[in-house]
Structure 1
Amino acid sequence: MKLTHIEALELLDNMCEVIEHEDNMSEIGNDFLIPAVFGATALGMFEFIDRVLQARPNLVWACNSMGRNLFQFAIESRQEKVYNLFYYKLSKRRRTAIGNIVDGDNNCALHVAGTLSPFARLDNISGAALKMQRELQWFKKVENIVVPLVKESLNKEHKMPREMFTKNHNQLAKEGERWMKETASSCTVVGALIITIMFAAAFTIPGGNNGQTGFPIFLHKKLFMAFIVSDAISLFSSTTSVLMFLGILTSRYAEDDFLKSLPTKMIIGLSTLFISIATMMVAFSSALFIMIHEQLWIVIPMIVVASVPVTLFIWMQFPLLVEMYISTYGRGIFDRKVKSRA
């Protein structure tokens, strides 16, 4: 695969040498080169675009049948690598100029960011809420490069960019709200059950209390302290998770809430729920070992089995938690400078 890639780059270099020194480019460009560049943009082939633009820099102003230039088409296709290539390759002045250009329907780059394009690659993103977040990130990023006047410009439908975004993402926002509420409802039930169990366990301690002093019989055992501490952590973390999920259920679900507020609550809720499940299993294992520590043939298998719920939770929910954290607080898809071959 790597050899094929190297050979393709060599072929690309040879092709670019030809078009770089070609005097009459109008026929070649209109028939072959421009459609190829737009096709490469739709597929995210930033190396191809980078090399072609080195040979013919003016192609950055080329337009497709809808009157959209390469920069606008990269936004429409949601190809962040191509977008980053243009962003770091062009000066701030040229970026602003290209972003302010309108297409055949009087749509500027911000209008294009407000559409839910069929080219948008949302299938590889988990959950409707994260898809909505990614669309908002695109809109906010493009909003930063256009002049303030463009934010209130009207297209042929007499709509401003934000109105276009709201109209085209209305269904996705509803799906995101439903996904958030369903996830929060399920997790709230689990969290409430853990709160009930851990609260009761704190007053029904293993071994019982000393009839004369009232203190726990195993008070001075290290495993008993492990039981108490893990029980307390499980109770507090599950309470925190339930409060976070209740915050999600009672949220107003405005568009901008999907950018930071809702993902943050979900991250905290899932994280604390994971901690509560893990520490609940620790409390159970500690209590089991205290009560029947002489029967290791029973204790050890039970402790191993107790790790199964934690493992299942990690397997099912941890990838979503990591993806949500990276999408909300990670480096981001727009802060990665594409390496040019120049």
Structure 2
Amino acid sequence: MTSREDDVSRDDDRNHTPLLIAARNGISEIVKKMLELHPQSVEAHDIDEQQNILHVAIMHHWLEIFKLIKKSKSITSRMAMKIDRSGNTILHQAATMRYYSADTQRLGGPALQLQDELRWMARVKKIISPHYIMKHNKEEKTAEQLFNREHAKLLRSAQTWIKETAQSCS
């Protein structure tokens, strides 16, 4: 990371609570302890983007943190209704590949990566109210449309990978 990127990262951290920083970085032990000691901290949100801990956990694909938050049905349902500054629901957050990490790419090929992404969308879809599924963000995209656009390259790679794998097995 360059010093410019370090400065930006530190500025981002100054605008967030420790809980959101831990959630963004996938440190589930800290998130768990903070929620145990200070359950009210779950109400914190990113003032600039209007995103709560559920948005952050979902966009970064942190399953462990997602499960921690999901334990409380009342908190989950309330947070799932929040829409960020860009008009994104939590389902839009699941659809984006902005924070697609090397951890996700360790799976055994593009088809398995795409399958994992589809599972993530389905997992998030289970906790969102049905009328939010067709909600359009400020780009006039539903979560499904965003998913299709963001994953088009991965889909093409998966199709090629499956075709090549099938040919090599023949």
The answer to whether the superposition gives a TM-score over 0.5 is yes
- Specify the code of the residue in structure 2 equivalent to 1:124: R
Contact 1:42 1:119 in 2 (8 A): no
Percentage of matched positions with identical amino acids: 26
Aligned counterparts, 1:94-133, within 5 A: 94-120=75-101, 121-133=103-115
Q: Which amino acid aligns with 2:69?
A: F
Alignment length (residue pairs) = 156
1:79 and 2:62 matched: yes
Tell me: higher relative CO, structure 1 or 2? Use CA pairs within 8 A at least 6 residues apart.
Answer: 2
State the match for 2:138 in structure 1. Answer: 156
Q: C-alpha offsets along residues 259-309 of structure 1, whole Å, 9 cap, x if unaligned?
A: xxxxxxxxxxxxxxxxxxxxxxxxxxxxxxxxxxxxxxxxxxxxxxxxxxx
* Aligned-partner SS, 2:51: coil
The CA distance in 1 between the partners of 2:129 and 2:167, in whole Å, is 42
Cα drift, residue 119 of structure 1: 4.6
Gap change, CA 1:32 and 1:164, over 3 Å in 2: closer
Measured in 1, the distance between the counterparts of 2:39 and 2:87 equals 25
Task: Return 42-51 or 118-127, whichever deviates more.
Answer: 118-127
Q: List, as ranges, runs of 4+ consecutive aligned residues in structure 1 with deviation greater than 6 Å.
A: none
TM-score (norm 2): 0.85
> What is the distance in 2 between the residues matched to 1:169 and 1:155?
18
Deviations 1:80-120 (A, max 9, x none): 111111112x12x3312211210110101011111112254
> Over the residues paired in the alignment, what is the CA RMSD in angstroms?
1.8
Partner of 1:48: 30
Q: Can you give the 5+ residue segments of structure 1 that lack an aligned partner in the other structure?
A: 1-29, 189-342
Cα distance in 1 for residues equivalent to 2:93 and 2:148: 13
* Superposed CA offset, 1:140-185 (max 9, x none): 0110111110011111001111111111111111111111111111
Letter in 2 for 1:118: Y
Question: Are residues 1:170 and 2:120 paired?
Answer: no
Q: TM-score, normalised to structure 1's length?
A: 0.43
Aligned to 2:53: 70
Name the SS for the 2:30 alignment partner. helix
